[in-house]
Amino acid sequence: MRYDHATLEKKWQERWRAEAPFAAPDRPTGKKAYVLDMFPYPSGQGLHVGHPKGYTATDVVARKRRAEGWSVLHPMGWDAFGLPTENYAIKVQKNPKEIAAANIDNFRRQIQSLGFSYDWTREVNTSDPSYYKWTQWLFLKLYERGLAYKAKAPVNWCPKDQTVLANEQVVNGCCERCGTPVEQKELSQWFFRITAYADRLLAGLEGIEWPERIKAMQRNWIGKSTGAEIAFAGVTESGEEFSVPVFTTRPDTLYGVVAVVLAPEHPLVATVTAPAFRDRVEAFVTEAAAKAERERTESVQKRGTALGVSVRHPLTGANIPLWIADYVLPQYGTGAVMVVPAHDDRDWAFAEAYGFDPLFVIAPPAGIQHGEGAYTGEGIMVNSGPYDGIVNAQAATDIVDALVAVKAGTRAVHWHLRDWLVSRQRYWGAPIPIILCDDCGEVPVPEKDLPVELPDDVDFRPTGESPLARSASFHDVSCPRCGNPARRESDTMDTFVDSSWYFLRYCSPTEDDRPFDPALVAAWCPVDLYVGGAEHAVLHLLYARFVTKVLFDVGALPFDEPARTLRNVGLILGEDGEKMSKSRGNVVNPDDVVAAHGADTFRIYEMFMGPFEDAAPWNEQGIVGVRRFLERAHGLAENVGQASDAALHRLTHQTLAKVSADIEGFRFNTAVSALMILVNAFGKAESVPQQDWETFLQMLSPFAPHLAEELWERLGYDESVARQNWPTADAALLVEDEMKIVVQVDGKMRDALIVPAGIDEESLKGRVLASEKVQTWIRGRHIEKIVVVPGKLVSIVLQKAA
């Protein structure tokens, strides 16, 4: 019988569609596993071969868990709002709704063609009013708690997409979506106060099993700096007193300050600059303003100019010149720094350019020379008055204490994280549920009026203002508070708001009068295993953590981290080793792979490519080997018999132990390899013992569910192989009666002996020394020692020849 993957896979997929055997129970009974993929953005291009790599991994785990008797929630849905769909809709002059629906249908068809065991009864779509109603509810919850606010602030503006962007969505100064350089604009926008959660977002990383790399990126993004805010007081030429607050993480270097430098944008610049310096300073400020932030921050040169005024050192009273320089950024810290060239690389460069002498206040450890650059390490204090002779860490504490005592400083913490800008001047997103009333100001839309639905009567083209602002039917409303005519907020929300809570919706996807059933969420969540790409490290994964913590505080959730374990799926590259892209012409279409080789082959190939987390190039040749493996397995079904075979039985159980452990450890490549070895052994046997064959099919079923079901059915069983209990490896069979002992002489392998498993050390040594081969290597030499590693090897060390 031929292995006709197309017919066979169609048969099983139809059955799964009709019978929904993978629907999760309403609530878990016993152990539960919530196994989640990052839901896809249903783009017009269709599924990428990279998607099924993560989906297959979660499917293998989900199927194994079910076989182990756990309640499993394994859902799929669509992150359907967003720019690419909207832009395409504008291009073809259709409503984005239609485009999104078509894309979703295509994605669903493609994903279902791969036989994943999703619970399709729980599908969610973020662009559906029944979903975004609750995204709007989430906005209101944040608003109620003062965590959503509108403010005028300098924001990132993408001139191509005609919308503002969150900091997380600006990569190297460019729009994350389209690559256009981002401009700074002063605009009134909606923000989520994620900064209020900075410390908890940092602390929470300790308790979750996420890749260190992702945690490091989040830590870095949150960017906690501990130090001091120090006031440097001064007097202008006209006699007015002023004070410059400076943030530093190195108060220990305070005695090494040679200048204080402000950002060119600092408000004090206008009021303290000495009249004689004004022209030069103004020219410098204008020039700095003209430069894009990128240009300014990329230069290694530290350019600046003096303001012609001094400030006093808070502890020594010494006069310290006040400057401005382009390397000081207005948004970070206090927008002012103390310049310590001896112990900071940037300050060193600045001092070199303008002739300040470095003043060393920390003696480097012996052997390290001063003078060739800044010394940023630890050491003993020097040139620091009363602090000389103590270690710098202690000096940092003592100096801040002294500053506090004279009211010239305080301990301070600064964060890199900034509030999440969530407004978008675009159509295809969830409308922000706020009404703007001339009398009452901002009025939240009452919950009973949700959802605020997207109007259809609009011109979608972006103009820099939300297209919603041009729909009279949308924006003309009466104020819910006073009843007077008012206007709806016309911006929509960042799509990352939609995806920040979707994993909660899967627990009770049809709830109509609340976002989720708290009891069901408490029963299923948090997510036990979350799989997706690393590109979301400081986007979705940070936002989801933030929102989870907010909902925890609201009392809606009994946990405050969304996912216990996170795994990153490695990229699949084109055959040329480059990222797949249309322009390179190296894109592999999953539909073609399924048609040519079958879904099971596709799934196993992606698992077999290499370590799950590594990037790996596609190889059309390589897929053939997997296909052959399944062909062979298929062929073996005709040779299943009742006779038993001790060696095959043992190998089957050894394979079972390995495959089980490898799935747990995400080592799918070696699990597949073990299955191949077993099939090769079955192929060499007279006939395949039915008992071992069944065990094999059970192990195969998470990887190649269609073929496994088919061959299981051929054994005459009515019940699906997916419903069988995951077998347990027989420990007795994992231990061999005989073992191979490697013999090394002076570290080189010289022989290998087969000995009984229970052999004692003395007899083993005897057997080893009796070996002919070993004798030829030790003849005429004295043995210094013999190292015995039980069950592994014997290492003979000879005395050095004279």
Partner RNA sequence: GCUCCCGUGGUGGAACGGUAGACACGUGCGCCUUAGGAGCGCAUGCCGCAAGGCGUGGGGGUUCAAAUCCCUCCGGGAGCACCA
Q: Which span (134-142, 201-209, 320-328, 437-445) binds RNA, by CB under 7 A?
A: 320-328
Give, as ranges, the residues between 343 and 362 that touch RNA (CB under 7 A): 344, 346
Q: What is the 3-state secondary structure (H, E, C) of 481-531?
A: CCCCEEEECCCEECHHHHCCCHHHHCCCCCCCCCCCCHHHHHHHCCEEEEE
**AA letter at 237:** E
Give, as ranges, the residues between 276 and 315 that touch RNA (CB under 7 A): 296-302
The answer to whether 616 contacts RNA (rule: CB under 7 A) is: yes
Q: How many CA atoms lie within 13 A of 194 on its CB side?
A: 29
**Smallest separation, CB 550 to RNA (Å):** 23
Select from 519, 529, 536, 526 the least CA-distant residue to 560. 526
**Smallest separation, CB 292 to RNA (Å):** 12
**Smallest separation, CB 526 to RNA (Å):** 25
Q: Which two tokens stand for residue 538?
A: 């400081």
CB-nearer residue toward RNA: 101 or 615:
615
CB-nearer residue toward RNA: 18 or 801:
801
Q: Which of 306, 320, 523, 609 binds RNA (CB under 7 A)?
A: 609
CB-nearer residue toward RNA: 344 or 709:
344
The answer to whether 666 contacts RNA (rule: CB under 7 A) is: no
The count of residues interacting with RNA (CB under 7 A) is 84
Q: Which of 263, 342, 479, 659 binds RNA (CB under 7 A)?
A: 263
Please, are residues 373 and 380 in contact by the beta-carbon 8 Å criterion? no
The answer to whether 367 contacts RNA (rule: CB under 7 A) is: no
CB-nearer residue toward RNA: 271 or 680:
680
Query: Which helix (H) or strand (E) element contains residue 54?
Result: helix 51-67
**Smallest separation, CB 635 to RNA (Å):** 7
Give, as ranges, the residues between 220 and 249 that touch RNA (CB under 7 A): 220-221, 223, 225, 227, 247-249
The answer to whether 774 contacts RNA (rule: CB under 7 A) is: no
The answer to whether 250 contacts RNA (rule: CB under 7 A) is: yes
The answer to whether 514 contacts RNA (rule: CB under 7 A) is: no
Question: Rounded to whole angstroms, how far apart are CA atoms 609 and 617?
Answer: 8
**Smallest separation, CB 782 to RNA (Å):** 14
The answer to whether 53 contacts RNA (rule: CB under 7 A) is: no
Q: Which spans in 273-321 are helix H?
A: 278-290, 293-298
**AA letter at 571:** L
The answer to whether 619 contacts RNA (rule: CB under 7 A) is: yes
Give, as ranges, the residues between 620 and 659 that touch RNA (CB under 7 A): 621-622, 624-629, 631-632
Give, as ranges, the residues between 522 and 581 that touch RNA (CB under 7 A): 534, 538
Question: Rounded to whole angstroms, how far apart are CA atoms 75 and 70?
Answer: 15
The DSSP symbol for 535 reads: G
CB-nearer residue toward RNA: 221 or 360:
221
Binding mask 709-748 for RNA (x = CB under 7 A): -------------------------------x-x-x-xxx
Strand partners, 420: 192
CB-nearer residue toward RNA: 112 or 673:
673
**Smallest separation, CB 406 to RNA (Å):** 20
The answer to whether 181 contacts RNA (rule: CB under 7 A) is: no
Rg from Cα positions in the chain: 34
**Smallest separation, CB 148 to RNA (Å):** 24
CB-nearer residue toward RNA: 333 or 702:
333
**AA letter at 595:** A
3-state secondary structure of 171: strand
Select from 662, 741, 735 the least CA-distant residue to 702. 662
**Smallest separation, CB 571 to RNA (Å):** 9
Distances (CA, A) of 188 to 151, 165, 193: 5, 13, 15
Query: Which helix (H) or strand (E) element contains residue 337?
Result: strand 336-339
**Smallest separation, CB 346 to RNA (Å):** 4
The answer to whether 795 contacts RNA (rule: CB under 7 A) is: yes
CB-nearer residue toward RNA: 428 or 682:
682
Task: Compute the Cα dihedral for 356, 357, 361, 362 and give only its sign.
Answer: positive
**Smallest separation, CB 259 to RNA (Å):** 12
- Reported in sequence order, the residue ranges of 236-272 that DSSP labels E, i.e. its strands, are 241-248, 259-262
Distances (CA, A) of 115 to 42, 101, 177: 18, 22, 31
Question: Rounded to whole angstroms, how far apart are CA atoms 136 and 126?
Answer: 11
Q: Which of 95, 586, 670, 687 binds RNA (CB under 7 A)?
A: 670
Q: Which span (135-143, 174-182, 360-368, 670-678) binds RNA, by CB under 7 A?
A: 670-678
Number of neighbouring beta carbons within 10 Å of residue 422: 27
Q: Which span (45-53, 270-278, 501-509, 679-687) binds RNA, by CB under 7 A?
A: 679-687
Question: Rounded to whole angstroms, how far apart are CA atoms 619 and 357?
Answer: 60
Query: Which helix (H) or strand (E) element contains residue 404?
Result: helix 392-405
Query: Which helix (H) or strand (E) element contains residue 78?
Result: strand 77-78
Query: Which helix (H) or strand (E) element contains residue 542?
Result: helix 540-554
CB-nearer residue toward RNA: 597 or 706:
597
Give, as ranges, the residues between 409 and 468 that touch RNA (CB under 7 A): 414, 416
3-state secondary structure of 787: strand
Q: Which of 586, 669, 687, 724 binds RNA (CB under 7 A)?
A: 669
Q: What are phi and psi of 698, to 5 degrees?
A: -65, -40
CB-nearer residue toward RNA: 770 or 783:
783
Q: Which of 154, 207, 446, 611 binds RNA (CB under 7 A)?
A: 611
Question: Rounded to whole angstroms, how far apart are CA atoms 30 and 313?
Answer: 67
Long-range contacts of 218-221 (CB under 8 A, 24+ apart): 218/537, 218/538, 218/541, 218/542, 220/416, 221/168, 221/416, 221/417, 221/538, 221/542
Q: Which span (35-43, 434-442, 619-627, 724-732) binds RNA, by CB under 7 A?
A: 619-627
CB-nearer residue toward RNA: 249 or 586:
249
CB-nearer residue toward RNA: 67 or 538:
538
